[in-house]
Structure 1
């Protein structure tokens, strides 16, 4: 008994210090990660804080220290910006264009990616390469051809025209994104649906598309952020004041020779506010989509 117990005691002796070292290293790593995250959050939030603080100061009483919160905030800046931007109208226009673009992009890109992934032919690989090559083309290269096409189709200064333009520019990334996700989805589920007598559209609607929910949510948020923040296409394709987007409303506050912070900064805050609210409410879908992608 003594000879059997002694080695066990000798083997158990160094185990406790090792566990202590591992716990210490783990706690140290967690502490360093927490400090890095706090510093990164401060780095990201500091410009936003300065933007809000400076926007609450009157132009003639702007402080030397931009971090100092005003003792008497001037909310008149925001009331003036709200009126000058035609805020409700511009936000409504942007929401209409953004949501229509996201819906059209998700529907068409998911169908195209499904056909490319499930039908492995030579022509499907060529089509996929054509879509992916669109990621390398800057928007400035296609502005003139796009304007001429929209003019010939009588789609200038229309919601439909700019939605189609945005859908075309976001399709390459959307097809690439959906195709990568669909390659991880087992084809046996679709084969089982075909055995049960389901057609292609029913299989896509009831089997494939529900499986794309994490990817769809992530892509939709990406499209919303890209369309909401864009200035180039609305500036080129929209000319009516009644169809003005948020970015055009902000751009209109920039003077030719002078720049007034008390006019510009409140419009920036108001312009970003709806997008910030949407992102906060849907951020769990972004995290879920990223986690699913990493897991697969």
Structure 2
């Protein structure tokens, strides 16, 4: 029976691996087509849409980056996304630490207020947000976008980080307190290194939707020089719809930072998502 059970387990594992590898191949195929088509000419794409590049060329990337102002859209997205994620993560870490370690009823109410932000549809907030930014002079600015993205990211980040911090034993802080460390020192030197997987999870799960967001920049930004990638891509498609190689090059540039981010943070993301499952 044990041999049969082992063989059955091996067959199931092999089946799972086949399904996962098959899914990975199906998911990666469009990305590979996009990448190799970006190195082909328009004539090659028209004559053989799914062919491989005969003589790879970087002309499409140069045209997308320089002539189509793609460098401006890309740098705007990098600035807005990075600043939003850093600001929201820093605020959320401090708030989550206070909420996770407090036992007062007031803090429980405050945490519920934070969590309630997860249930608020972003489309319902756009009109008051627009008028607020216009009133304080931040409409159609990168600073306004950063503040909006940071604000809408805080509820999710606080929820994840507070849940993770509650799993850390209080004895760690007691030991640091005996050694003379204050609350901020304890948080920075003792707890922060332990919550690094949760921080990586929050960063990635907020970076991706902000990077891909089309709605807020479309409504709040009126100056083309401050467009982010998703909005810039709409004008890009309109102007270069007959230059398919340039379109593919632009899509590769827009996708590359997300691929790099996932490759760098995969281990921390898995550790953050599976924390506490063995308890």
Per the TM superposition, whether the score is higher than 0.5 is yes
Does 1:158 pair with 2:160?
no
Q: For the aligned residues, what is the CA RMSD?
A: 2.5
Cα distance change of structure 1 residues 29 and 65 upon mapping to structure 2, 3 Å threshold = farther
Match of 1:12 in 2: none
Distance 1:65 1:39 in 2: 26
Structure possessing the higher radius of gyration over alpha carbons: 1
Q: Secondary structure at the match of 1:294?
A: coil
Match of 1:235 in 2: 218
Cα distance change of structure 1 residues 79 and 181 upon mapping to structure 2, 3 Å threshold = same
Distance 2:155 2:242 in 1: 37
Does 1:212 pair with 2:195?
yes
CA contact (8 A) 1:50 1:66 kept: no
**Cα offset, 1:65, TM superposition:** 6.5
Unaligned runs of 5+ in 1: 1-17
Match of 1:11 in 2: none
Between 272-281 and 52-61, the greater mean CA deviation after superposition: 52-61
Unaligned runs of 5+ in 2: none
Distance 1:59 1:140 in 2: 39
Match of 1:178 in 2: 161
**Cα offset, 1:44, TM superposition:** 0.8
**Cα offset, 1:118, TM superposition:** 1.4
Distance 1:208 1:266 in 2: 43
CA contact (8 A) 1:131 1:175 kept: yes
Match of 1:27 in 2: 10
Distance 2:181 2:58 in 1: 60
Q: How many residues align?
A: 279
Q: Secondary structure at the match of 2:51?
A: coil
Cα distance change of structure 1 residues 142 and 259 upon mapping to structure 2, 3 Å threshold = farther
**Cα offset, 1:279, TM superposition:** 2.2
Q: Which string of whole-angstrom CA distances, capped at 9 and with x for unpartnered residues, describes residues 247-276 of structure 1?
A: 2321221329x6764443321111111222
Distance 1:166 1:270 in 2: 22
Q: TM-score, normalised by structure 1?
A: 0.84
Distance 2:214 2:154 in 1: 19
Q: TM-score, normalised by structure 2?
A: 0.88
Distance 1:275 1:59 in 2: 27
